[in-house]
């Protein structure tokens, strides 16, 4: 991958389009510190980040929903409540007294359940593996929403989940953007990106090849850029 430069603005939903293997997931993983980069700079609110590691980024309000929710996003054997509270645990109860009064935990879990509209038939104590794909994805998203992210990176957030859950996730993305967060969405479904995003970037074999604002959204142009059948626009 080389020569990639882009800005994600506050309150913006930015789509990342391209074919499989174009480097979209790789880019997201680098941004979250899961994969290493040779050089290049990442800035958050104008401040250059020297160390990219999940923990540092989470502390700064970055969240990343990976494309493999079952293997990377969830403790499948653990309870729903445990999965929801996982990332926010260290922020809670730094004092021993608060530790033992578990109300904060239960309150957070109950609140986020209603935010992500988790199926009310599911209980907090049931293992996540017993849930449907859509509900599992809502748990992963809920886990990250609890951190009040300023930047949310979503890799294929609606893959293999039911239509109802898809729309819930679109709604949550818009809500978050309305609250001022920047959202980067990777998706292989072009209609999804065109419906969801304010701007779409297109990647092809490790390079950024196009950048379209909403007004210029055009299936043909995005496809051409992704396939490389048309002259490249922008950088």
Partner 1 sequence: MNRAGQRLLDFAPLLLFAAVLAFFGTQSEKFLEPRNLVNIVVQASSTSIVAVGMTFVLLTAGVDLSVGAIMFVAAAIAGKMAIAGWPLPLALLVMVGVSLVFGAFNAFSITRVRVAAFIFTLATLFIGRGLGLRITETRALNLPDSFLQIGSARFLSVPLPAWLFAGVLILAHLVLTRTPFGRQIFAVGHDVEMAKKAGIRTGRILAAVDLISGVCAAVAAMVTLGQLGAVSPKFGEQKEFAAIAAAVLGGTSLLGGRGNVLPGTLLGALLIQTIENGLVIINANPYLYPMVTSVVIFAAVLLESLRNRVK
- Binding region for partner 1 (CB under 8 A): 32, 34, 54-55, 57-59, 64, 66, 71-78, 82, 85-87, 89-90, 92-93, 99-100, 102, 127, 143
Q: What is the dihedral of CA 131, 108, 144, 41, to 10 degrees?
A: -160
- Rounded to an integer, what distance in angstroms lies between the CA atom of residue 109 and that of residue 95? 20
Identify which of residues 40 and 90 has a Cβ nearer to partner 1 in the complex.
90
Answer whether 56's CB lies under 8 Å from 31's CB.
no
Identify which of residues 85 and 208 has a Cβ nearer to partner 1 in the complex.
85
Identify which of residues 126 and 205 has a Cβ nearer to partner 1 in the complex.
126
Identify the DSSP state of 127.
B
Q: How far is the CB of 96 from partner 1 (least distance, A)?
A: 8
CA distances from 90 to 84, 85, 150, 196 (A): 13, 10, 18, 33
Q: Which residues of 137-169 are buried (b: 16+ CB within 10 A; e: fewer)?
A: bbbbbbbbbbbebbbbbbbbbbeebeeebbebb
Secondary structure (3-state) at 83: helix
Q: How far is the CB of 131 from partner 1 (least distance, A)?
A: 15
Identify which of residues 18 and 149 has a Cβ nearer to partner 1 in the complex.
149
Identify which of residues 74 and 152 has a Cβ nearer to partner 1 in the complex.
74
Q: How far is the CB of 76 from partner 1 (least distance, A)?
A: 8
Q: How far is the CB of 36 from partner 1 (least distance, A)?
A: 14
Q: How far is the CB of 60 from partner 1 (least distance, A)?
A: 11
């Amino acid at each position: 991958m080389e020569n990639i430069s882009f800005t994600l603005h506050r309150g913006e939903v930015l789509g990342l389009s391209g074919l499989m293997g174009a480097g979209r997931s790789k880019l997201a993983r680098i941004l979250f510190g899961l994969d290493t980069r040779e050089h290049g700079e990442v800035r958050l609110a104008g401040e250059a980040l020297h160390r990219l590691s999940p923990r540092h980024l989470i502390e700064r309000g970055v969240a990343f929903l990976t494309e493999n929710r079952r293997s990377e996003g969830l403790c499948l054997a653990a309870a729903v409540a445990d999965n929801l509270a996982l990332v926010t645990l260290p922020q809670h109860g730094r004092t021993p007294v608060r530790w033992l009064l578990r109300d904060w935990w239960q309150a957070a879990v109950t609140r986020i359940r209603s935010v992500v509209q988790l199926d009310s038939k599911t209980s907090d104590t049931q293992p996540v593996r017993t849930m449907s794909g859509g509900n599992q994805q809502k748990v992963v998203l809920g886990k990250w929403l609890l951190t009040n992210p300023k930047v949310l990176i979503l890799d294929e957030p609606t893959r293999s989940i039911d239509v109802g859950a898809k729309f819930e996730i679109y709604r949550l993305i818009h809500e978050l953007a309305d609250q001022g967060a920047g959202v980067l969405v990777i998706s292989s479904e072009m209609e999804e990106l065109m419906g969801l995003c304010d701007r779409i970037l297109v990647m092809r074999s490790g390079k950024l090849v196009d950048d379209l604002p909403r007004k210029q959204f055009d299936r043909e142009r995005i496809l051409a850029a992704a396939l490389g059948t048309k002259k490249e626009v922008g950088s």
